[in-house]
């Protein structure tokens, strides 16, 4: 009974929404003024499309909302878990292990099977996986909203580009230097924003990102300005000469290795004493400090570890494209990486990986819809935030085994 | 004033000004080893401000706060950072519960162990035998603490899903996990029914014996305060107006006036 009532109610609401939307879009959808012929055409069929389309969409929307609310009340009644069947299926070690092995094999075989073009796209996606994992430490675990994350990416890229240009240092020499520089810049940003949180922190980090970009754009003597730096050396392998195809494959394997290291490091950090301190910091700063956690240290650690990963990726990016300029380090990049973290699931390593692949690969393979890219992007974000605010994959919590006998 | 024997906390002439407002003026207070001391007073008397002054959240404008940790010698802790005060061995709970809501009860207690453990980034990433042993010790010790406050059955529940009384007890367990010599409880019985208050009282007594801690608590529940405390300090308008055993304090005309108004036959 209540179900049917609800359905009728939804029908009514959807009809209202459809009528309103059709009315509001009437001038642009139906009326067409041809200024050269000086005639007005009335395209009434468009009104029908508008009504039908918005009605169906609204109905689906209401249906989904009801489902969500019912799910939420069920979850509240039960325990805090509420994992979907898929997540439970994936968490089963007998499923997960072979799946991981299979994934690894595919990843290793990829450049041998697919074209250079495909491999290059995948390298980009892998770069974003690591960037996402890095930002996940700062935003997802420690809860410090960093909108200037791309600045650290730029630091790494320019570190390699400039050192290579001026001193002809190789990729493998600069990689650790970029990591250290990244950590240093992370701390540099971390110090002034220690007391800030939430919106204020977001604004200051946003400013930091802009400062770095503006410096790179305008300090011609240092960074060669908007024209950027070209002819950056690709990574070497004991002086072996590679063709472009082989270079790409080599780059891919380097990236694959770095991704595995990044996953390993972030997953372990998350489940450690430090990761726990970050979570506590995210939950309640005052209580966290009152319980003996050094907030300053925890925050600086989160900032600098995230920045380290970004800077390493920056060096890889510079080596991959052999050309960089400030246009690669705009706020859009920061927003993109943040979207990866939020969409994938804050604090969830698996979620961030999935998010990076979705947000980087889908636009590549759906070039046909590239005009609608931002529209689809925005709509997807809204839908995800409404229906799965915790992200596609919820952060998995470590399960502790307790020695009950211990005294 | 002379040094009180076997004190664990000794507060001398502490004042706290917020701009022109004097929230505390010349407060003296001592907590001795193994004592339960209560701080009472009408709302707005400055009790929580006092707590914030001795735990490093505020820096007192004037005076000395001296702590006497179990090992090591006396330390002036005015303006010391909150986490260092906690590391020194003074752990607190909050008037409006401040747990970590989306962490489990066990994890909440484990956070308390943070300042007594050492694993760093390298340890976390490599997860060697030393780190693993330390982690397991943290888990086990935290579980034992949950047991002490009767919450072992909800160890894996999120803190936000626990009933109110359980959240209060969890806060105490979390504070105990930092191995304090002095436990500071800010209105632990607030919002509890008489039965829960009674259980809480028994728990505090048990904890004092078992962990050899001293307790300083702010409380409004007179029945609990009178039966639990060894000594009581009464505050009004930022000043200590009376101090002594429960019997002495409850007979003090100044206290009666502060609580019940001028004309009273209580």
What ipTM does this complex have?
0.90
Query: Based on the domain organization, do B151 and B193 belong to the same domain?
Result: no
**Do B144 and A279 lie within an 8 Å CB cutoff?**
no
Q: How many domains does chain B have?
A: 2
- Candidate from A24-38, A127-141, B162-176, B209-223 with smallest mean pLDDT: A24-38
Distance CA A386, CA A406 (A): 45
Chain B residues inside the 8 Å CB shell of A400? 106, 139
- The token duo for B138 is 């943290």
- Contact call for A274 and B120, based on CB within 8 A: yes
Tell whether B63 is covered by a domain: yes
* B112 and B212 fall within a common domain: no
Inside any domain, residue B186: yes
**Quick one: B82 and B194 in the same domain?**
yes
Q: Which residues pair with A305 in a beta bridge?
A: none
Query: Is position B167 within any domain?
Result: yes
Q: What chain B residue is nearest to A287 in terms of C-alpha separation?
A: B98
- Chain B residues with CB under 8 Å of A276 CB are 103, 107, 110-111, 114
DSSP element (H, E) containing A384 = helix A373-387
Interface contacts A/B by beta carbons within 8 Å: 124
Please list every residue in chain A whose beta carbon sits closer than 8 Å to the beta carbon of residue B167. none
Contact: B114, A264; criterion CB under 8 Å: no
Distances (CA, A) of A14 to A10, A25, A51, A379: 6, 16, 10, 19
CB atoms A291 and B131 under 8 Å: no
> What's the predicted TM-score (pTM) here?
0.86
The range of the structural domain enclosing residue B146 comes to 102-179
A271 to chain B: nearest residue by CA?
A: B124
The shortest CB-CB distance from A80 to any of B82, B98, B158 is to B158
Q: Is there a contact between B114 and A80 if contact means CB atoms under 8 Å apart?
A: no
Is B175 in the same domain as B199?
A: no
Note down pLDDT in tens along chain A; length 407 residues. Answer: 677 888 888 889 999 999 998 889 888 888 888 888 888 888 888 889 889 999 999 988 888 888 888 776 665 554 444 556 666 676 677 787 888 888 889 888 888 888 889 999 999 999 999 999 999 999 999 999 999 999 999 999 999 999 999 998 989 999 999 999 999 999 998 888 888 878 899 999 999 999 999 999 999 888 898 899 998 988 887 777 778 888 899 999 999 999 999 999 999 999 899 999 999 999 999 999 999 999 999 999 999 999 999 999 999 999 999 999 999 999 999 999 999 999 888 888 989 999 999 889 888 888 888 788 888 888 888 888 888 888 888 777 778 887 765 44
Portion 169-228 of B in contact with A at CB < 8 A: 174-175, 178
Are residues B188 and B262 part of one domain? yes
Question: Is the Cβ of A272 closer than 8 Å to some Cβ of chain B?
Answer: yes
Residues in A closer than 8 angstroms to B156, CB to CB, are 399
Asked if B115 has any chain A CB less than 8 Å from its own CB, the reply is yes
A397/A391 Cα distance (integer angstroms): 15
CB contact under 8 A, B99 and A284: yes
Task: List chain A residues with CB under 8 Å of B114.
Answer: 273, 276-277, 280, 291-293
Is residue B221, in this structure, part of any structural domain at all?
A: yes
CB contact under 8 A, A291 and B144: no
SS3 content of chain A, % helix, strand, coil (to 5): 75, 0, 20
| A279/B107 touch (CB, cutoff 8 Å), yes or no | yes
Q: Are residues B2 and B80 in the same domain?
A: yes
Residue B29 and residue B240 in contact, taking contact as beta carbons nearer than 8 Å: yes
Cβ contacts of A264 on chain B, cutoff 8 Å: 125
With respect to residue B140, please indicate whether it lies within any of the assigned structural domains. yes
Tell me: do B40 and B80 sit in the same domain.
Answer: yes
- Percentage above 70 pLDDT, chain B: 95
Q: Do residue B68 and residue B186 come from a single domain?
A: yes
Asked if B94 is an interface residue toward chain A (Cβ–Cβ < 8 A), one would say yes
Architecture of domain A114-387: Orthogonal Bundle (1.10)
User: A39 - beta bridge partners?
Assistant: A34
Cα radius of gyration rounded to whole Å, chain A: 25
The span from the CA of B12 to the CA of A97, in Å, is 63
Classify residue B210: in a domain, yes or no: yes
Residue with structure tokens 């943070």? B114
User: Are residues B257 and B156 part of one domain?
Assistant: no
Helix (H) or strand (E) holding B156: none
Residue in A276, A301, A403 closest to B107 by CB: A276
CATH number at residue B250: 3.40.50.300
* Tokens describing residue B134: 């330390």
| Residue B83 is assigned to a structural domain of this protein | yes
B45 and B160 co-located in one domain: no
The domain boundary, picked from B152, B179, B206, lies at: B179
pLDDT tens per residue across span B126-148: 888 889 999 999 999 999 999 99
Q: Which of B164, B179, B194 is the last residue of a domain?
A: B179
Query: Phi and psi for B114 in degrees, rounded to 5?
Result: -50, -50
What confidence score (pLDDT) does residue A319 get?
A: 93
For residues B71 and B200, membership in a common domain is answered with yes
More reliable by pLDDT, B7 or B4:
B7
B204 and B236 together in one domain: yes
* CA distance to partner chain B, nearest, from residue A272 (Å): 5
């Amino acid at each position: 009974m209540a179900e049917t009532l609800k359905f009728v109610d939804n029908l009514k609401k959807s009809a209202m929404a459809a009528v309103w939307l059709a009315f509001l879009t009437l001038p642009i959808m139906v009326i067409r003024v041809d200024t050269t012929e000086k005639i007005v055409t009335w395209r009434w069929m468009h009104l029908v499309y508008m009504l039908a389309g918005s009605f169906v969409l609204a109905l689906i929307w209401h249906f989904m909302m009801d489902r969500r609310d019912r799910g939420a009340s069920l979850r509240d009644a039960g325990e805090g878990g509420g994992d979907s069947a898929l997540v439970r299926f994936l968490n089963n070690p007998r499923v997960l292990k072979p799946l991981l092995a299979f994934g690894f094999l595919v990843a290793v075989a990829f450049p041998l099977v697919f074209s250079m073009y495909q491999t290059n796209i995948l390298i980009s996606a892998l770069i974003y996986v690591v960037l996402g994992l890095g930002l996940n430490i700062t935003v997802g675990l420690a809860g410090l909203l960093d909108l200037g994350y791309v600045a650290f990416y730029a630091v790494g890229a320019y570190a390699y580009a400039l050192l290579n240009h001026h001193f002809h240092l190789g990729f493998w020499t600069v990689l650790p230097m970029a990591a250290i520089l990244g950590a240093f810049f992370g701390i540099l940003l971390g110090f002034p924003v220690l007391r800030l949180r939430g919106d204020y922190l977001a604004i200051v980090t946003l400013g930091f990102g802009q400062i770095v970009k503006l410096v790179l754009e305008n300090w011609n003597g240092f960074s060669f300005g908007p024209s950027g730096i070209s002819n950056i050396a690709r990574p070497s392998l004991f002086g072996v000469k590679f063709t472009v195809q082989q270079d790409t494959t080599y780059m891919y394997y380097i990236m694959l290795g770095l991704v595995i290291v990044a996953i390993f490091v972030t997953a372990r950090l998350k489940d450690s004493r430090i990761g726990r301190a970050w979570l506590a910091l995210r939950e309640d700063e005052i209580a966290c400090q009152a319980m003996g956690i050094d907030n300053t240290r925890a925050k600086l650690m989160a900032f600098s570890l995230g920045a380290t990963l970004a800077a390493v990726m920056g060096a890889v990016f510079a080596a991959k494209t052999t050309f960089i300029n400030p246009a690669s380090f705009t706020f859009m990049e920061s927003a993109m990486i943040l979207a990866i973290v939020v969409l994938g699931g804050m604090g969830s390593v698996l979620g961030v990986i999935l998010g990076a692949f979705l947000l980087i690969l889908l636009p590549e393979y759906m070039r046909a819809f590239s005009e609608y890219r931002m529209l689809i992007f925005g709509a997807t974000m809204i839908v995800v935030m409404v229906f799965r605010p915790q992200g596609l994959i919820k952060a998995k919590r470590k399960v502790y085994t307790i020695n009950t006998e211990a005294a | 004033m002379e040094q009180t024997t076997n004190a664990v906390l000794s507060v001398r002439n502490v004042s706290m000004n917020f701009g022109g407002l004097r929230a505390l003026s010349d407060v003296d207070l001592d907590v001795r080893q193994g004592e339960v001391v209560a701080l009472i007073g009408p709302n707005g008397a400055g009790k929580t401000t006092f707590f914030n002054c001795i735990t490093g959240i505020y820096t007192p404008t004037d005076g000395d706060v001296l702590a006497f940790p179990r090992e090591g010698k006396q330390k002036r802790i005015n303006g010391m950072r909150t986490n260092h005060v906690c590391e020194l061995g003074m752990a607190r709970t909050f008037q409006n519960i401040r747990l970590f809501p989306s962490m489990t009860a066990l994890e909440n207690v484990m956070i308390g162990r943070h300042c007594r453990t050492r694993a760093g980034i390298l340890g976390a990433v490599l997860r060697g035998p030393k780190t693993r042993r330390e982690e397991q010790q943290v888990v086990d010790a935290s579980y034992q603490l949950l047991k002490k406050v009767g919450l072992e059955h909800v160890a894996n529940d999120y803190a936000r899903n626990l009933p109110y009384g359980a959240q209060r007890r969890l806060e105490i367990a979390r504070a105990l996990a930092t191995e304090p010599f002095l436990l500071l409880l800010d209105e632990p019985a607030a919002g509890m029914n008489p039965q829960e208050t009674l259980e809480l009282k028994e728990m505090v007594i048990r904890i004092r014996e078992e962990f050899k801690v001293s307790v300083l608590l702010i409380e409004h529940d007179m029945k609990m305060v009178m039966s639990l405390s060894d000594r009581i300090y009464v505050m009004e308008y930022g000043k200590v107006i009376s101090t002594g055993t429960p019997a002495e304090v409850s007979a003090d005309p100044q206290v009666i006036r502060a609580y019940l108004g001028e004309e009273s036959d209580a």
